[in-house]
Amino acid sequence: MRGSRAHLWFISPALFLMAVILLIPILIALGISFTNFSLGNSGAEFVGFKNYEQIFTRTTYEKMFGATFRYVFIVVPMTVGLGLGAALLINSLTRFGDVYKTIYFLPVMSALIAMAIVWEFAFHPTIGIINSTLERGCGTFLENWSWYAKGCEKTFPLWLNDRDYAIWTVSFIGIWQGFGFNMVLYLAGLTGIPKELYAAAEMDGAKSSWERFFLITWPMLGPTTVFVVTISFIRSFQVFDMVEAFYPQGGGPSKSVYVMMFAIYEKGIQQNLMGVGAAITVVFLLFVMLLTIFQRWLVERRTHYV
């Protein structure tokens, strides 16, 4: 390596693409974030940290951070847990495993904009199937258990238009759409676990499925879990299309679903405040980077590699 420069010819295309596609745009966004630049204006003035001061002092952006982290910390644990559970169940099946894989993976393959329209009709307060089913079930419950069902009423929330329920509803759809992807990753990890380890554990006294899971399966899935958690965090932070489909004019009721990607779109594209949009982008990238580094450090401390 020291005596030859041949290796530079092999890595230079990758380094060039990394610089053009990743590093240079980030540096440009960082530079714009210190200005009041907007498309159509002949020039831009340097405003220093004014854009960042707005982000960390105004109530609107406080709601943005709250909605983003609430969504992320609801969706990530649920998609990881459900993905692992579905993978374990399918891996234990002897028949129809491929059918269940296809069913669980269908939401991942579907266009989320189209599915958002379907969910919007499903959560409609009057004609939606969700409230209709709850009303029918509540009516049956009241009819048969009227002496016990004091809190069951035939009025249900406006799931997408109530600030107390909007973020939970959007998070539910995010979980539905995302856990199938994690399931496939965990299935790939399960196929790499040697069967001999389970036989050895059984000979050593691990008779129950729970004992074999905690002694063999979970430690051996450490590398897969690192990757799954990382990807889940990044995908959750990038949520946009579903929010834009439900609330095209502004982040849901009382900005309760005003996530960071939608704020970037609103400020940078809709309102043409490119400086503010770039500042939110830089903060977004920092949050994703710090959280990714932290969770990798936390998970890899207990990771067992084959």
CATH code 1.50.40.10 for 56-123+159-300? no
How many Cα atoms occupy the beta-carbon half-sphere of 206 within 13 Å?
16
Whether the predicted pLDDT of 306 surpasses 70: no
Report the pLDDT value the prediction gives residue 164, as an integer from 0 to 100. Answer: 87
Give 263-302 pLDDT, tens digit per residue: 999 888 888 889 999 999 999 999 888 877 877 777 666 5
Per-chain mean pLDDT for the chain: 83
In single-letter form, the type of residue at position 293 comes to I
- What's the whole-number mean pLDDT along residues 203-207? 76
Ordered by start, the domain boundaries in the chain are: 56-123+159-300
Give 249-262 pLDDT, tens digit per residue: 777 888 889 999 99
Q: Supply the pTM of this predicted model.
A: 0.84
Q: How does residue 148 score in pLDDT terms, banded at 50, 70 and 90?
A: very low
